[in-house]
Structure 1
Amino acid sequence: MNPFPAILRRLAAAAAATTVALLLPAPAPAHAHAVQTAPGTPIRPILSRAEAAPYAAASYLGWSGPYAAPTKDPWHPGPILVTGRPDFVVGASVGVHGATHTTVQAAVNAVFAAGGTGRRYVKILPGTYTGTVFIPAGTPPLTLYGAGRPADVRLEFTVDATITPAAWAALVNPAGQLAEGDPAWPMFQSCATRTSATAGLCATVVWAQSTDLRLRGLTITNTLLDTVDRGTHQALALRTDADRTQVEQVRLIGRQDTFYANANDPDRIARVLVRDSYIEGDTDFVFGRASALFERSRFHLVSTRKPSGGVIFAPSTAPGYPYGFLVRHCWITADEGYLAAAAPTGHLGRAWDQGAGATGYLPGVSPNGQLVIRDSYLGAGFDPVAPWAPAATTARPFAARTDPGRDLDDPAYNRLFEYGNAGPSAGSPA
């Protein structure tokens, strides 16, 4: 009998027939079909079918507005389409292959200047584009897409959150290419004038504050990678702050904090959809307060900088809101360093407990990360008994309710759950 459950067989077939195959190397099948049975344990909670039912795409993408009074606002994004002539083209030389600009930032600035409410398209020709990209609020709906394979269109920069704001400003704007009056100037200044000791989460390659952004067919890499020790070196590839962000056929590569799915206004919902993509890192490399859906994507934990104890997800969901991250029909894998270890030490995720470092976690006040991983493949290398780590900021031990009729949003407990997963790290084999 094929050890894959039916959903994973369908995913494998889909990957073979679409561009997903370019992004997601097929994982090796599990040697046994693991059975995940509710309610699980206090350190590995499993949902029942009835409990899992509300955790669907419509829940995570169907609401907007303030957390205190959400508005039903269904968002049903289809595939990102890039047919037709782009508004602007980025390439190595203006005029070659239709290029209108030589940097992505210049093309984004042109979109902002064009204004209007209609969608604008920026095509990026194959090549490596070094530098930060700021997409400010007020930019018209924008589709930024690569021509060719995602691996051939590379947006790269090396930036570490540990540097000072002044050093960050000198690094990202060495020639004064960003100046007062530019659309991205307020974003740049918000970081350059910080009074904190470090640049913090300004350390990103692409930073978007615009609504209705679509990214397709790109590789975005923070090339700090393994040049630093295994300590705290936040180095983001992509940060999104606004509502209705769609990411498709994109490779996001970094180590700590690769993808920050953020909501710039902490009181309002920001929705993110990621499909058919690849995200790599070693520490909290998919994190933030957005209401985010991840589909048919691969999350890959690497050991080259940090050989043990890595963590993938770190949601920071508003305490009264039930929908943080939903991961479905995805692959979650680890590299050879984790596979060769005597005991698996990888973690699927942990709560961020954002902003609670000084006070400790305050039930009902502090953010309480919410995440469901369902109908997905969990490769080897993850702790099968305790796959969830203590909270990032407070070290709050992971604990979930397993009692009958449990409240899945009880603020005294964690909100990280699984349902219907398979693979070597999914639990005890049947």
Structure 2
Amino acid sequence: MSETRSKPRHRRRKSALAVGVPLALTAAGTLAYGTDFGVFGEDAQRTASAATAAPAWATATADGFASVNALGQNGTYGGRDGKTVTVKTLADLEKYATATEPYVIVVAATINMDPVGKEIKVKSDKTIVGSGTSGHIVGGGFFLGSGVHNVIIRNLTIRDAYQGVWNDKDHDFDAVQMDGAHHVWIDHNDLRNMADGLIDVRKDSTYVTVSWNKLSNDNKAFGIGWTENVVTDITIHHNWIRETEQRNPSTDNAAHAHLYNNFLEDVAGTTIKSSYGNYSRGATRMLLENSYFQGMNNPVIKDSTASIVQKGNTFVSTTGRNESGGTAFDPKAYYAYTPDKTADVPALLKSGVGPRGSIGTTATTKAAAATTLTVAKDGSGQYSTVQAAVNAVPANNPARVVIQVKPGTYRELVKVPSNKPHVTIQGTGGSRKDTVIVYNNAAGTPKPDGSGTYGTGGSATVAVEADDFQARNLTISNNFDEAANQSISGHQAVALRTASDKVFLDSIIVEGDQDTLLLDTAAKDRLGRVYMKNSYIVGNVDFIFGRATAVIDGSVITLKKRWNGTSAGYVTAPSTAANRKGILIANSTVNGSVSDRTFYLGRPWHAGGDASLDPQTTVRNTTLSAAIRTTPWTDMSGFSWKNDRFAEYMNKGAGAGAASTERPHLTDAQAAGQEVADWLGDWTPSAS
């Protein structure tokens, strides 16, 4: 129901609501690094907890003003009391969203709106949630009309209704629009590239919370108001508003607007220029606290009739108006909350906003994905070799298959072909060292059939050509003996080669000498993303290399002497295609028992002499030992590193150094666009 009121009516909740924290944040922590394998501890291991009851997302309730009991509605909990249905078509989505009874609607596919601009008219008591990162609404969005209430829109990507006109006055194609709705929670969505705005809260809509969303690449981000009545109560927190020109948000005649822990970013050097950031209009009373503004023009503005009270905000490289004045209100009179530190906001939001792999995965989906194969050398498993288990995975398997490998040393070659996606190879021991897959081929090793040598890529102990592959809690090694094979030409010896997309390497060791870890793509024009976390990589020459878009995060890179005892080497050799992202090393440590100033961070590999490539390595927020040279980049095969993309940002340790022409550093603005989330795009790695 909707009503016009001269004053908003509230009843303070008796207790604070518990709000789920994103998986990426709960798993994050400060790692203390040591040397070699002592960093995480001998027995350190990350494990994924299987849900034994209804997943937390299925019973989640809103915080902020959406949690307040008012207008006959006790908080916002969506379709929790109804059936859970999974939809993959527009017809089914519209059927359940417009039904009169409550539903939890899990969107498990990309749904294209027809016609473009279509807005589904959602009715009350609905939760519309993306299944992991697979729920995309393309070319349209949702409309909540007068009196619609108790609606959750969560974990979706809503995108691409743009009609080619930047400030589009003719196409009102929003991601989410509400006219006179109440008790609405918009959470953990990725909203971008729509024809008009991304979110509109209009015509006395109230008791709304907007949290943990990424709003980007649009002329108008977020409009609130279009009413003469001072009614709307809204909480806007932990949103990353990036590359949007106006309405960030614009708040007109809101009774109570509480904005905190948001990150507003205008990236330097792009065609999108912010005209203003947070705007308090009409009779709005706004409290703006602990938010971070980067590069914004007119970051905070107000009408003479409006109020803005600012607390604890940070402004970096902003210009123009930054205003405050009037009186606000105390949000804790309505709900409990604890803001994060302002300095933490950019990193917190870059890793935490948008769809989560841990949200929207139903119990039935988990059951379907629960296929497990066991491998044991002693015969106690279903298979005695890892490759035999891979061979048993059905071609084009639709769901996750976990190959659990018991402790032992498996001297074999393993290949996961492209027609076997969704495979996890997981050691079951208490340590990564307990389960080892090892072989000793090199590029110059003759093939047994006499057809030549293996070549660099063919030397891999484990080769992954299937998408959505995961490996965890094991060691993958190539122990080719260079000293004993000096007669062989071609000592490149790969331990792990990936040539696919969405590869998650979690808590593993990859060890070798030259060319240890080959991060490739299926073809030059194909995207191949790799995320490596909480792991070790050991090698000496070009031992992290290839053309993939790869992130090495929170890991240890251990430098190793050459076969003859000398210290000299190169950490990375990217061969990135133009307009793609290359290798990102973040929040990690580079160390090892080698001589000081003997290793380069990288050099450009123009594979086959291909001048069209644009190799990239960024090393940021990483501790560098004294082994790193004071000029950490160098040329390769006639190609200058200075013509490609090599940079550092905020590194520390004895191997770090000041910016110079020989040691480029990213600016703060450049670094804001080279975060882990920028590399991974619409993919959120999660354990499964």
Q: TM-score, normalised by structure 1?
A: 0.67
In the alignment, the residues of structure 1 paired with residue 528 and residue 424 of structure 2 have an alpha-carbon distance, to the nearest angstrom, of 18
Separation of aligned partners in 2, 1:237 and 1:112: 25
2:512–2:538 contact (8 Å) kept in structure 1: yes
Q: What one-letter code is carried by the residue in structure 2 that aligns with 1:350?
A: R
**Correspondence for 2:426:** 145
1:235 CA drift (Å): 0.3
CA distance in 2, matches of 1:377, 1:117: 41
State the partner residue of 1:168.
Answer: 447
Alignment partner of 1:11: what SS?
A: coil
1:87 is displaced (CA, Å) by 1.6
- 1:228-307 matches, within 5 Å, as 228-229=485-486, 232-305=490-563, 307=566
| Alignment length (residue pairs) | 319
1:94-173 → structure 2 map (5 Å cutoff): 94=379, 96=380, 99-112=381-394, 116-148=397-429, 149-163=431-445, 167-170=446-449
Given that residues 496 and 518 in structure 2 are in contact (C-alpha distance below 8 angstroms), is that contact kept between their aligned partners in structure 1?
yes
What are structure 1's unaligned runs of at least 5 residues?
A: 1-8, 25-48, 63-73, 171-191, 400-412
Task: Report SS of the residue matched to 1:221.
Answer: strand
> How far did 1:56 drift?
8.8
Q: Deviations over 1:99-122 (max 9, x none)?
A: 000000000011135x53111111
Aligned residue in 2 for 1:89: 374
**Aligned match of 1:370:** 616
CA apart distance, 1:425: 0.6
Give the direction of change, closer, same or farther, for the CA distance of 1:355–1:90 in structure 2 (3 Å limit): same
Distance 2:572 2:607 in 1: 13
Q: Structure 1 residues 57, 305: closer, same or farther in 2, change over 3 A?
A: farther
Change (3 A) 1:57 1:220: farther
Return closer, same or farther for 1:258/1:59 CA change in 2, 3 Å cut-off: farther
- Tell me the alpha carbon deviations over residues 241-273 of structure 1, each in whole angstroms, 9 at most, x when there is no partner: 010000011100101110101002111111000
Aligned partners of 1:57 and 1:85: how far apart in 2?
A: 32
Q: Which structure has more RCO (C-alpha within 8 Å, separation ≥ 6)? A: 1
Question: What is the alpha-carbon distance in structure 2 between the residues aligned to residue 271 and residue 75 of structure 1?
Answer: 17
Matches within 5 A, 1:23-422: 87-94=372-379, 96=380, 99-112=381-394, 116-148=397-429, 149-163=431-445, 167-170=446-449, 199-227=455-483, 228-229=485-486, 232-305=490-563, 307-321=566-580, 323-335=581-593, 337-339=594-596, 344-356=597-609, 362=611, 365=612, 367-384=613-630, 386-391=631-636, 394-399=637-642, 413-422=643-652
- Please report how far the alpha carbon of residue 428 of structure 1 lies from its aligned counterpart in structure 2 after TM superposition: 5.8
Give the strand-richer structure, 1 or 2: 2
State, as a whole percentage, how many aligned pairs show the same letter: 29
Question: 1:11 Cα deviation (Å)?
Answer: 2.8
* AA aligned opposite 1:93: D
Q: Distance in 2 between matches of 1:118 and 1:424?
A: 46
* Change beyond 3 A, Cα 1:162–1:117: same
Query: Is the contact between residue 136 and residue 210 of structure 1 (CA under 8 Å) also seen in structure 2?
Result: yes
The change in CA–CA distance for 1:291 and 1:56 in structure 2 (over 3 A counts) is farther
Structure 1, residues 9-36: CA drift from partner, whole Å, max 9, x if none? 9332999xx9933489xxxxxxxxxxxx
> Kindly tell me: are residues 120 and 284 of structure 1, through their superposed partners in 2, closer, same or farther at Cα, counting changes over 3 Å?
same
Give the 3 Å change call, closer, same or farther, for CA 198–244 of structure 1 in structure 2: closer
Report deviation, 1:197: 6.1
Q: Contact 2:543–2:570 (CA<8 Å) still a contact in 1?
A: yes
Confirm or deny: 8 A CA contact 2:370 2:400 kept in the other structure. Answer: no
SS in 1 for 2:614: coil
Secondary structure in structure 1 of the residue aligned to 2:394: helix
Whichever residue aligns with residue 421 of structure 1, its letter is N
Give the C-alpha shift of residue 92 in structure 1. Answer: 1.4
Task: Please list every run of 5 or more consecutive structure 2 residues that lacks an aligned counterpart in the other structure.
Answer: 1-28, 45-315, 318-345, 359-365, 660-688
Q: Paired residue for 2:656?
A: 426
Change (3 A) 1:13 1:136: closer
Q: CA 1:138/1:76 → structure 2, altered by over 3 Å: closer, same or farther? A: farther
Distance in 2 of aligned mates of 1:75 and 1:133: 33
Higher Rg of the two aligned structures:
2
Query: Would the aligned equivalents of 2:443 and 2:453 in 1 still touch at CA under 8 Å?
Result: no
